[in-house]
Structure 1
Amino acid sequence: MTKSETGDLKTADGISLKLSLQRSLRRKKRNALLLVAPLFLFILITFILPIFYMLMKSVDNSITQEILPTAAPLLLKWDPKSGELPDEEVFKAFIIDGKVAAKEKTINRLGKRLNYEKSGTSSLFRKTGRKLRKLDPEKLTTTYQEALIGMDKKWGKLETWQLLHRESGPYTKSYFLSAVDMKQDVDGVTWKAEDSQIYLNLFKRTLWLSFLITFLTVLLGYPIAYLLATLKTSTSNLLIILVLLPFWTSLLVRTSSWIALLQKEGVINDFLFAIGLISNDGRLAMIHNQTGTVVAMTHILLPFMILPLFSVMKTINPSYVRAARSMGADSFTAFRRVYFPNTIAGIGAGGILVFILSIGYYITPALVGGTQGTLISNFIAYHISGSLNWGLAAALGTLLLLLVVALYILYDKIVGIDNMKLG
C-alpha cells in the first residue's frame, strides 16, 4: 500500500484504496444476492405469484367482455334504473356476439358465470345458444328485440339485463359480496336471506374452533413440555421421540384412527358402554360434528405447541425458581411470578404456529367434522374442485389471508412479535 501526492492511500496496483473497498463491497453484495436468488425465485413462484393470482381471480370479470365484445360496452352505457329494456342496438349486438360465441361454444361459459349471481341463467344461455346457431340475423322478419325474446321470455325481463349490465365490466365485487353473504342489485348492496347466509357463520366457526384448539394445545402441552424440560436429558430425549412419533405417521392414518375411536360404534363408546356409564341407546355423538374436529385437530397439532414450549423452557435457569423459594415464595407463587413469565415467549410461538395451521386446516375437518365441524378451508376447496367457482374461492381465500394478517398485527401490537422465541 502506498500514499499518493494528494495523501490518498493506494493499493499495490495503484488503485485508490477507497475505490478498491467499494469494488470489494459490491462483489460481496453481488455474491450474496446470487446465493439468495434461488430461494427468492422459489418464494416468488410458489408463494407470491399464486397469492397475486388469487387476488386477481377474486375480482376478475373479463369473461363478459371476451364473449360479448360489442354488446358489453353498449350495456355499460345503458341506465339499468330507467325501467326500460335496452334499445335495439344492444339486442342486435347481443345476437351477433351470441351467435359467434354459440359457434365457438363459449356462450355456456358466460351463462355459468352469471349463474353464480342468479340461478337459472346457465340454462337460459344454453337454450339461447342452441337457437342462435340456427338463426340468420340478416333474414330476420322481426326486430332483434322480438327475435331474442321469442327465444326465451326471460330476455324480456328487466332483471336479466340488469344482471348483464352489472357484470359487463372488467372487474366485479360480486365474489367478495358473496363471501360475506351479501348481494348487489339495482337498489344497492343488501344482505342475503338468512337461510342463504353461509360464509359469515363459517368464518366465525373457523375462528372459534381455531382459538379453542390453540387454547387446548396450550393447556395440554404446557405440563408435557415442563416435564420434558425438567427431566434428565436421557429420559427427556426418549419422551421427545414419543412427541415426534406422530410426524412419522400419515396424517390420513391419524385422522382415520380417530374415526374408529370416536364413532358411535367405536372404541370409546364401546368402553363407556362396557363399564356402564352409558346405555346402548345413549351412545355419544363425538364425530361428524365440532367435537370430532376439536379432538382430532388438538391431537394432531399438539406437537407444534410442545416443541416451542420445550425449547424455551430448556433455556430457563432452574436457579431462578430456587432463588424465589429461598426468599419465602411457595411453589405456586414461584411458578406464577418467576417461571411462567419466562415461558410466555414459547406460548406465543406455539400459539401462533398452532392457530395459523388450524385456521387453514382441510383434511381433518373434512373427514371428522361433518356439516357442523367443517371450516372455511373446506368450502374453498369445494369451490375450486367441486363447483369450479374459482372467483368465490379466491375471494374466500383472500378474506382468510387478510383475517390472519390482521390477527398477526393485533398479536404484534399486544404481545410483540419480538418477544416470540423458539429457544
Structure 2
Amino acid sequence: MHQNPGGLSAAEIHTERKEQQRRRRNSLLLVVPILLFLFFAFVAPISSMLHRSIYNPTLVELIPDTINALSSWDRTGTPKPETLRTFSIELQQLAKQRESGRLASAVNRSYPGATSLINATARKLRNVDPNQLAQTGHLALLDTDPRWSETKLWQAIDRLGAKYRIDNYLTALDLERDAQGNIQKRQSSNIYIDLYSKTLSMSLIITLLCIALGYPVAYCLAHAPARIAGVLLVMVLLPFWTSFLVRTTAWIALLQTNGVINSVLQSVGIIHQPLELLYTPLATILAMTHILLPFMILPLYSVMKGIDPSHVKAALSLGSPPFSAFVRVYLPQTVPGLSAGSLLVFITAVGYYIIPALVGGTEGQMISNIIAYHMQQSNNWGLASALGSLLLAVIVILYWLYDRLVGASNLKLS
C-alpha cells in the first residue's frame, strides 16, 4: 500500500480526518446550548427592540385607504374631498369595531388634542348611513369639528402613515419635525436629554464612591491574615445573601423623615428639623452604592491577591517613600481589577430600575424608569424601544472608549 512521507497510509489518513471531524462535531454540539441561550436571551430581544423602535404600522393597519390617498397630497391646505370621504368611512368602521381609540392614541402623539377630536368624531359618525358618507362624508367630517380642515392635523396623519420612521428617536433626543418635515429642536423642555445626563452623572458618582470605599476594603482583604480575611469576605458577600427588597426597605427606614438618620441627628442637636433625604438623588446614590459595592470589591480583591508583595518591599528598600511606592508600584498593578470593577458597577448602575423607583422618587429617577413607564403605563413601546436602543448605544460607545483607553494602558504596563 502506498505510504505518504509521514509514514501513514491513505486509509489511516482518512480515519484520522473522520476522527477530527467527529471531535469538531461533538465540540459544536456542546456549544449549541450556550449559543441558543445567547440568541434567545440577547440577540432576539435586542433585535426586536431595534425593530420596534422604527416600525410603526398602526395607521397603515387602521386606515390604509386614507394613507394611500394622502400619498398624492402636496401637504398644503386641506386634502381633497375624496380623501376626507375615505377617512370618514374608515373612521366609521373603526368606531363600529371599537378601534377608534387606537387611532386617536397614535395620532395624539404628534398632534395634541387628537384623542378627543377623533373619539368625538367617531361617535358622531357611528350611526350615519355609509352610503351618505360615500357622497358627503367630507362635509360630515368638517361639520363635526372645524379642526379637520387644519393642515397640521393631516400632515401629522400623513407622516404617521409610514411604516418605518425615526420619529421615536427624534423624540428620545428631544427633537421634532416642523410643518414641512424638517428636523428641529423641540420647543418645550429637554426631557430625555436631561434624563440621560442625570443617569450618566449619577452612575459616575456611584462608581467613584464604590472605588473610594471598595479599594481600601479590598486592600485589607488581600493583606489581612487568612482568618480575618475570611470574616471580612463573609461581610462583603453578606448583601448577596439578603433579599434585595429587604436591603432597599432598610434604606427607606434609614432615610425617611422620621427615620434612623434624622432621629439620631436631631437627638444630638446637629439639626433641628428633619432633612429631606428620601425620594432624592442622594437616596438613589446611597442605596445603589451599597448594593453595587461588592461588584467593585471582588474584582479588586482577586487582582490584589495575586500581586507579589516583594515589589513594594523592593521599592521601599531602595529609598522610595511609602506613598510613592504605593502610587508608582502597587497601584498600577491593580488597574485591571479597578477598571473591571468600575466598568461592572457603571454599566449596572446605568440600567438600574428598582432602587430609583423605590427610594429616588421623581427627582432621583433614571432613564430606565421612564422606559418602564412608557412600556407599562403609556403603552408607547416604540418610544420605549428607542430610549432603550439609545441607552444601549451609549453603553457600547463607553465600553469601546474604555477598551481603547484602559486596554492600551494595560498593554503599556505589561
What TM-score results when the alignment is normalised by the length of structure 1?
Answer: 0.92
| Residue in structure 1 matched with residue 284 of structure 2 by the alignment | 293
- CA change 1:417–1:328 in 2 (3 A) is closer
* 1:273 partnered with 2:243: no
1:24: Cα distance to partner? 2.3
Shift of 1:232: 1.2
Partner of 2:176: 183
Partners of 1:380 and 1:396 within 8 A in 2: yes
Post-superposition shift, 1:179? 0.8
Alpha-carbon spacing, 1:417–1:254, altered in 2? closer, same or farther (3 Å): farther
How much does 1:8 deviate? 8.2
* Structure 2 equivalent of residue 346 of structure 1: 337
1:273–1:146 distance in 2 versus 1, CA, 3 Å? same
Is 1:139 aligned to 2:137, yes or no?
no
C-alpha contact 2:300 2:337 (8 A) present in aligned 1: yes
TM-score (norm 2): 0.94
Deviations 1:144-177 (A, max 9, x none): 3212112222212111111101111111221111
Mapping of residues 245-284 of structure 1, within 5 Å: 245-279=238-272, 281=273, 283-284=274-275
Residue 119 of structure 1 deviates from its aligned partner by: 2.0
Q: Does 1:203 align with 2:196?
A: yes
**Cα distance between partner residues in 2 of 1:122 and 1:94:** 16
Match in the other structure for 1:394: 385
Question: What secondary structure does 1:58 align onto?
Answer: helix
CA contact (8 A) 1:8 1:16 kept: no
Unaligned runs of 5+ in 2: none
The letter of the residue matching 1:335 is: F
SS of the residue 2:246 aligns to:
helix
| Distance verdict in 2 for CA 1:350–1:141, change over 3 Å | closer
Residues 1:97 and 1:22: Cα distance change in structure 2 (over 3 Å): farther
Worse overlay, 102-111 or 66-75: 102-111
Is the aligned partner of 1:33 residue 2:24?
A: no
Matched residue of 2:54: which SS?
coil
1:336 aligns with 2:341: no
Give 1:135's aligned amino acid.
Answer: V
Matched residues, number? 410
1:405 aligns with 2:396: yes
C-alpha change, 1:5 and 1:30, in structure 2 (3 Å) is: closer
Percentage identity across paired residues of the two chains: 44
SS of equivalent to 2:373: helix
2:11 matched to which residue of 1? 15
1:183-220 CA-partner distances (Å, limit 9, x unpaired) = 112232222234x4211100000000000100000000
Q: Which runs of 5+ in 1 are unaligned?
A: none
Matched, 1:216 2:213: no
The two structures, once aligned, show a CA RMSD in angstroms of 1.9
1:236 to 223, 229, 239: 229
CA distance in 1, matches of 2:398, 2:71: 39
Residue 331 of structure 1: CA displacement? 0.9
Aligned to 1:94: 87
Partner of 1:415: 406
Question: How far 1:89 sits from its partner (Å)?
Answer: 2.3
The one-letter code sitting in structure 1 at the alignment partner of 2:231 is L
Greater fraction of residues in helix = 2
When residues 140 and 297 of structure 1 are mapped into structure 2, their CA distance, relative to the original with a 3 A threshold, is: closer
Residues 257 and 78 of structure 1: CA distance in aligned 2, closer, same or farther (over 3 Å): same
